Amino acid sequence: MRVIVVGCGRVGSELAFRLFEKGHKVTVIDTQLASFENLDSRFRGRTVEGEALNDDVLQRAGIEQADAIAVVTSSDTLNTVVAHIARSVFQVPNIVARNYDPNWRKLHEVFDLQVVSTSSWGAQRIEELLYHQEMRTVFSAGNGEVEIYEFTVPEAWDNHPLIDLIGIEECTPVAITRSGKALLPGINEIVKEGDAILVSATFVGTKKIREFLSSVQEG
């Protein structure tokens, strides 16, 4: 895959090297030549110095042949405009824009862009790690609006139907792993102590599960 990364700060340089390691052809754009020093010394992709709003810079980076572009500078307005140009002018099929300031996230959404909000997503992950040890995040969709969590059935839940345990709005069972074997659960599935349950839930649904888990453990 031919990928352009716009912005060579901490996020852009890390992303560019990860893509390069996976065997993709990567070109990095940044306005400051010194920014390319952020790249891992093993990076062997291309670098283009210049303003990504300039069509000539984008063309030198190979945007007309690009399969994807990630615009990850610390400027939300720049990220939105460059992503919009990549889609509307150059028809790049896969575009991801970084949201730096959560207050500007609606700007990206107006242009119907695929957005990763690093601040919001990171804050949510840290919050969970600080005081939510009973559930573990295994997959995050979008910017954390819906996630898949794993938790282990405690002794107090043994031989209860699944619907009694997670019959909660904004929460859907995904899988149960028992004795190393996974199965797709029906809502009336009887769970056993030690089962690992995967659920897909919004933040609200997850909060309700955690509250229920705490009440069971306290009871």
Instruction: Locate the domains of the chain by residue range.
Output: 2-119, 131-218
Give the CA count within 13 Å in the CB-facing half-sphere of 130.
6
CATH number of 2-119: 3.40.50.720
% pLDDT > 70, the chain: 90
pLDDT at position 180, please?
Answer: 80
User: CA-CA distance, 219 to 7, in Å (whole number)?
Assistant: 52
Split at pLDDT 50, 70, 90, the class of 209 is confident
Split at pLDDT 50, 70, 90, the class of 130 is low
Q: What is the pLDDT of residues 10-47, one digit of tens each?
A: 999 999 999 999 999 999 999 999 999 999 999 999 99
pLDDT at position 133, please?
Answer: 55
Read off φ and ψ for residue 162, nearest 5 degrees.
-55, -35
User: CA-CA distance, 175 to 195, in Å (whole number)?
Assistant: 10
Q: Do residues 115 and 108 make contact, with C-beta atoms less than 8 angstroms apart?
A: yes
User: CA-CA distance, 63 to 89, in Å (whole number)?
Assistant: 10
User: CA-CA distance, 189 to 166, in Å (whole number)?
Assistant: 11
User: CA-CA distance, 86 to 68, in Å (whole number)?
Assistant: 9
What average pLDDT is seen over the chain?
86
How many CB atoms sit inside 10 A of residue 176's CB?
19
pLDDT at position 199, please?
Answer: 87
Instruction: From the options 2.40.50.140, 3.30.70.1450, 3.40.80.10, 3.40.50.2000, give the CATH code of 131-218.
Output: 3.30.70.1450
% pLDDT > 90, the chain: 47
Q: What is the mean pLDDT of residues 55-81?
A: 95
The angle at the Cα of 133, spanning 120 to 210, to the nearest 5 degrees, equals 80
Quick one: DSSP state of residue 139?
A: E
pLDDT at position 162, please?
Answer: 85
The pTM for the full model equals 0.65
